[in-house]
């Protein structure tokens, strides 16, 4: 990656996918395949201080479960595509950083006030998961399911059973 690319980049909205390339949707950057691996989020972009948010291209994607952010988190943490293809093990990031890039990172890019973190004065938008994704094996992160969703502190979705949803 050239220094010129870093100078032009101020924000990057990146998708972790299996196709061998990623594209930024919020800036004049296209991140392409370099030296057999996807240009890394952590060693080049994050170290350069560029604001980064993870997202998906759902529904316009061939990714196995395009609306599930946990699949993207798993890909960032393991650097393995959905089919197991190695996308650059040396560029793995921590699960904490991947979660941050889907939440706080997205807020920084969009500049939507009062979201992206749980803290006083914020909207209290959060989810309850079936398991602690910080504790499960990395290759199981993509299977994580949401049990309940809260917006502005109010429950707006609750999974009662495999067949029953309360909205």
Show me where the domains of the chain are located.
3-166
Q: Around Cβ 68, how many Cβ atoms within 10 Å?
A: 18
- Say how far apart CA 6 and CA 148 lie, in whole Å: 40
- Long-range interactions of 44-47: CB distance < 8 A, separation 24+: 44/1, 44/6, 45/9, 45/12, 45/14, 46/93, 46/97
- The whole-number average pLDDT for the span 113-125 is 88
Mean pLDDT (the chain) is 74
pLDDT of residue 133: 95
pTM over 0.85: no
Statement: residue 30 has pLDDT above 50: no
pLDDT of residue 42: 58
pLDDT of residue 15: 52
pLDDT of residue 144: 94
Contact predicate 42/95, CB 8 Å: no
- The whole-number average pLDDT for the span 23-33 is 40
Q: Which tops the pLDDT comparison, 75 or 21?
A: 75
pLDDT of residue 11: 52
Q: Which tops the pLDDT comparison, 29 or 83?
A: 83
DSSP state of 107: H
- The whole-number average pLDDT for the span 143-152 is 93
């Amino acid at each position: 990656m050239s220094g010129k690319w870093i100078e032009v980049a101020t924000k990057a909205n990146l998708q972790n996918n299996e196709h061998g390339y990623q594209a930024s949707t919020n800036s004049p950057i296209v991140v392409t395949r370099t030296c057999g691996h996807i240009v890394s989020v952590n060693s080049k972009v994050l170290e350069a201080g560029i604001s980064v948010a993870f997202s998906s291209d759902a529904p316009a994607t061939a990714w196995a479960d395009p609306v599930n952010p946990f699949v993207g988190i798993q890909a960032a943490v393991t650097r393995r595509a959905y089919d197991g293809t190695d996308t650059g093990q040396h560029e793995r990031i921590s699960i904490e950083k991947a979660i941050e890039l889907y939440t706080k990172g997205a807020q920084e890019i969009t500049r939507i006030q009062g979201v992206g973190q749980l803290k006083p004065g914020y909207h209290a938008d959060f989810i309850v998961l079936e398991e602690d994704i910080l504790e499960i094996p990395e290759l199981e992160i993509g299977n994580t399911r949401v049990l309940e969703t809260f917006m502005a502190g109010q429950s707006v979705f609750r999974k009662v059973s495999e067949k029953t949803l309360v909205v």
